[in-house]
Amino acid sequence: MKKRYTTLLIVLPVFLLLSACGKKAAPVASALEVPVTGVVQQDVRLESEYTGQTYGLSDIQISPRVDGTIESLVFKEGNLVTKGQLLYTIDPLPYQAKVSEAEASLAQAQANLAKAKSDLDMIEPLAKINAVSQRELVAAKSTYDASFAGVKAAQASLDNARIQLGYCRITAPISGLIGISEVRVGDYVRPGAMAVLNTISDLGEMRVRFTISEQEYLRIFRLATEDNSSLKGAGKSITLKLSDGTIYPQTGQLNIVNREIDPTTGAMTLEASFPNPLKILRPGQYVKVLIVTDVRKNALLVPQRAVIEMQGISQVYVLGDSSKVQMKIIMTGPTYRDAYIVEDGLAAGDKIAFGGTQLLRNGTVIKPVPTDWQPGVPGDKTAPGK
């Protein structure tokens, strides 16, 4: 047994020595690679966004002016029509009958006038030689005057009947795009405020109406009326954002400011016009109207994704000496595209680290990766700069 224990004591140290020799040293942790960009300093034109609705340059409702049954639709719905083009016909038979009746009444009145004129022409010379009494002369003149007035009345009735007959043919008052018809052949229509057959819109130029608050109106007015105001001309370059988030390729200009502020809402209505050569805009669309309402000279800008917000406090990691990052509290102002305007806490030339990692701490040593970034420039904003 003693020999066996001696052998174990000799083998065990050798085994431990061999195990220690086979174990590798732990690798040294490398610095975390973090995209870093410089604070951008530039003039910024801040845009305010308002919700608006589109209208045609002219949106004309087509309504009947006589009652009757729709006899035909002489146009293709949703297509362009030209001014004077026939659109609808209403059954004309009742109105043709009225025209015929008015023509007969006019013929009767004209016959009565001819007889009264003949009687007057015969009595006037006899009255001069006292062959008839003055009373008979006065009666003849009255009959003639009444007959003359009767002809005028009959002519007016005929003209009105012809006008009513003409209203049975409804034509386009303007050239433009016509919508889907509200009535079909066989429907009975009658004049009235609610009796709309269709609507034609002139889409060559579109109007966009939107509202701003009274406070916003006062602020913009004061800025725009300052000497050498940078807002002068802003109303001639208005941007439109469509419902899918894309920017409309044509710029518009402000053309109407309402005379009053609505006392029930405290808002003022404005209207801008936009060219519409491709007919992309249609009446009734809801859009965003972007107008420059402030200009910041030499503003400091940082990416929104680099700002950490906690309990209402905004912070960024600033790259310092020896590639250490230090958390710094900043005061942010309005947003500009995908950036914040920094009003306090940073200076031009500071370099900040992009967020997106929970490994950053105050004093962390990083491997900075210089990154190109400009406000609103599309693409991968954290790709290393060349």
- Say which residues have a Cβ less than 8 Å from residue 66's Cβ, sequence separation at least 6: 90, 95, 164, 167, 168, 191
Lowest mean pLDDT among 12-21, 97-106, 199-208, 294-303: 12-21
In this structure, which long-range contacts are made by residues 117-122, counting pairs with CB atoms below 8 Å and at least 24 apart in sequence? 117/144, 117/147, 119/143, 119/144, 120/144
> Residue 356: what pLDDT?
65
293 vs 50 pLDDT, higher one: 50
> Residue 16: what pLDDT?
45
> Residue 15: what pLDDT?
44
Whole-number Å distance between alpha carbons of 290 and 38: 28
pLDDT in tens, 151-166: 999 999 999 999 999 9
> Residue 24: what pLDDT?
53
> Residue 6: what pLDDT?
44
Model confidence at 228, pLDDT cuts 50, 70, 90, reads: confident
> Residue 27: what pLDDT?
56
Q: What is the three-class DSSP state of 18? A: helix
> Residue 383: what pLDDT?
46
Model confidence at 221, pLDDT cuts 50, 70, 90, reads: confident
Confirm if 141 and 122 have CB atoms less than 8 A apart: no
Q: What is the mean pLDDT of the chain?
A: 88
For the residues 81-90, what does the mean pLDDT come to? 97
Tally of CB atoms within 10 A around 364: 18
The yes-or-no verdict on residue 4 having pLDDT over 60 is: no
Model confidence at 7, pLDDT cuts 50, 70, 90, reads: very low
32-43+298-370 fold: 2.40.420
pLDDT in tens, 330-386: 999 999 989 999 999 999 989 999 876 677 888 889 999 999 999 988 755 444 444
Domain ranges of the chain: 32-43+298-370, 48-57+205-296, 92-167
Q: What global pTM score does this model have? A: 0.69
The yes-or-no verdict on residue 196 having pLDDT over 90 is: yes
| Closest to 201 measured CA to CA, from 169, 171, 179, 170 | 179
pLDDT in tens, 229-247: 777 777 888 999 999 999 9
92-167 fold: Helix Hairpins (1.10.287)
Query: How much of the chain, in percent, has pLDDT values that exceed 90?
Result: 72
The yes-or-no verdict on residue 21 having pLDDT over 60 is: no
CATH node for 48-57+205-296: 2.40.30.170
For the residues 38-50, what does the mean pLDDT come to? 92
> Residue 376: what pLDDT?
83
Cα-based distances in Å from 38 to 225, 233, 238, 347, 369: 36, 32, 31, 10, 11
- Say which residues have a Cβ less than 8 Å from residue 335's Cβ, sequence separation at least 6: 304, 341
| Closest to 231 measured CA to CA, from 297, 308, 317, 146 | 297
pLDDT in tens, 266-325: 999 999 999 999 999 999 999 999 998 888 889 999 999 999 998 889 999 999 988 999
